[in-house]
Amino acid sequence: GWIPGTKQNDKTTVQYGAHYDHVGYGTKKTSLGEIGLIHNGADDNASGTSAILELCRHFHKHPPRNNVLVVLWDAEELGLLGSKHFVGDPVFPLENISLAVNVDMIGQLTDGTLEVHGSRTGMGLRSVIANANLDHRIPMEYKGKVVRNSDHYAFLEHKIPALMFHTGLHDRYHRPADDPDTLDYKGATRIVQFLLDFATALDNHNSPFEFRDGSLQDDRAAIRLHETGITDLLDTNGITASYVPGKPSHLRVTNVKNSASRPRNWPTSGAKISTICNIPIDDINGLAGAFQSLLDSPSLTFIPKRSAMRKTIKLQPIENIQIAGAHLISDLGDPRVFYVQQVRKDSSSARMGISQGDTLIPRHTRNTDVLDWLARPKPRNAVFVERNGSILLFK
């Protein structure tokens, strides 16, 4: 379905979609339950399809400023065939699509969370999602790793930012028991109401979302390393590295700036970084607790590409930028959003109730800069906090 925007000569388009197929009677490849019985797929994905129809109803009553493209996908369960065909042989110029929004299984919220996949694939998406959730307070889990598990991934492969909203798998998934009487209708209604506000926020966004290179290589560990300050430490020392999972995990050096002017014992491309401040790379919690060492006298141990001999070097500390007693690290996908790495005791940030691990997000209606606000927090409601997926407001 095509809904033209009211803005003249504007090609910016947001695509909304959900797959409407399921697995029929089930096969050994598609069913996790008894084969031969009808698998109705109430959650997977009648719930998502219904949400998209509600969005269509909304746009009919409230014509969007930007163009809207609505697609219900077939053959998702067979390997994203419908969405892959669309992006491979589009009936609409892909370069005009600024964002693809996929709704897949939203019928099991209950007391759980709404998973958000792909929030760091487009620069600036994170704060738009959080602001749209202010009135609904749905607990959200922002997934780090983007996986090929639904139709949004077909767009990501063409460097188009894409999101998926999902309430998670359950014991009725791909089984005959996925029936309408098992759905959480109140939770699904909350999610649809959030999606309506989110669609409005997207429509009022002034510019397309820029696809973030590297977002398809993100995973939870890599994002946590960024939040610990390790990425800032390596950048300070001219080192670019990617996280490599394993036993043990390590960081592989991919580039070194001004390598010719570095000391002879400096790591080069291909080197494996095994520890930072004597803490193994796969000990994420340990690295998070060693933040003060990154400010004081950090060190790095690595194995050169063509050697088995470990080398340890001293690094230049990261810049100690504290505002109101808090050290902040910007989000990978949204420079307006900040993760709180450290809070000094008895500081003004601590007295406000800000804690390590919080995420500070500006209200879009006030166009607030979080760093400026933290130095002088007025008005208090210009910034809000996400803590463990829940939204908290300052009094």
Can you list the domains of the chain with their CATH numbers? 2-204 (3.40.630.10), 230-314 (2.30.42), 322-393 (no CATH)
What is the Cα–Cα distance from 51 to 58, expressed in whole angstroms?
11
pLDDT for 101 = 98
* pLDDT at residue 320 tops 80: no
Q: Which residues contact 110 (CB under 8 A, 6 or more apart)?
A: 184, 187
What is the Cα–Cα distance from 202 to 134, expressed in whole angstroms?
15
Q: Are 304 and 271 in contact (CB under 8 A)?
A: yes
pLDDT for 206 = 81
pLDDT for 24 = 96
pLDDT for 91 = 87
* pLDDT at residue 366 tops 80: no
pLDDT for 222 = 83
Mean pLDDT of the chain: 93
pLDDT for 321 = 75
pLDDT for 110 = 87
Q: Judge if pTM exceeds 0.85.
A: yes
224 or 134, higher pLDDT: 134
pLDDT for 245 = 83
What is the Cα–Cα distance from 104 to 313, expressed in whole angstroms?
48
pLDDT band with cut points at 50, 70 and 90 for residue 92: confident
What is the Cα–Cα distance from 213 to 124, expressed in whole angstroms?
14
pLDDT digit string, tens, across residues 154-207: 999 999 999 999 999 999 999 999 999 999 999 999 999 999 999 999 999 988
pLDDT for 199 = 97
What is the Cα–Cα distance from 320 to 325, expressed in whole angstroms?
11
Percent of the chain with pLDDT over 90: 79
Which residue, 239, 215, 207, 225, is CA-closest to 315?
A: 239
Mean pLDDT for 82-99 is 94
Region for 75 from its dihedrals, namely left if φ exceeds 0, alpha if ψ lies in -120 to 50, beta otherwise: left
pLDDT digit string, tens, across residues 127-166: 999 999 999 999 999 998 999 999 999 999 999 999 999 9
Give the pair of three-digit tokens for residue 312.
């340890």
Question: Residue 359 forms beta bridges with which residues?
Answer: 339, 386
pLDDT for 362 = 96
Enclosing H/E stretch for 255: strand 250-256
pLDDT for 284 = 86
pLDDT for 132 = 97
* pLDDT at residue 9 tops 80: no
> What are the CB-based long-range contacts (under 8 Å, 24+) for 250-255?
250/274, 250/281, 251/225, 251/281, 253/302
pLDDT for 220 = 83
Q: Are 284 and 221 in contact (CB under 8 A)?
A: yes
Mean pLDDT for 272-285 is 93
What is the Cα–Cα distance from 307 to 185, expressed in whole angstroms?
59
Enclosing H/E stretch for 286: helix 284-289
pLDDT for 214 = 87
Q: Are 334 and 126 in contact (CB under 8 A)?
A: yes
* pLDDT at residue 374 tops 80: yes
Mean pLDDT for 103-126 is 96
Q: Which residues contact 83 (CB under 8 A, 6 or more apart)?
A: 17, 19, 71, 73, 76, 151, 152, 153, 154, 155
pLDDT for 135 = 96
Q: Are 354 and 340 in contact (CB under 8 A)?
A: yes
Report the range of poorest mean pLDDT among 24-38, 112-126, 221-235, 326-340: 221-235
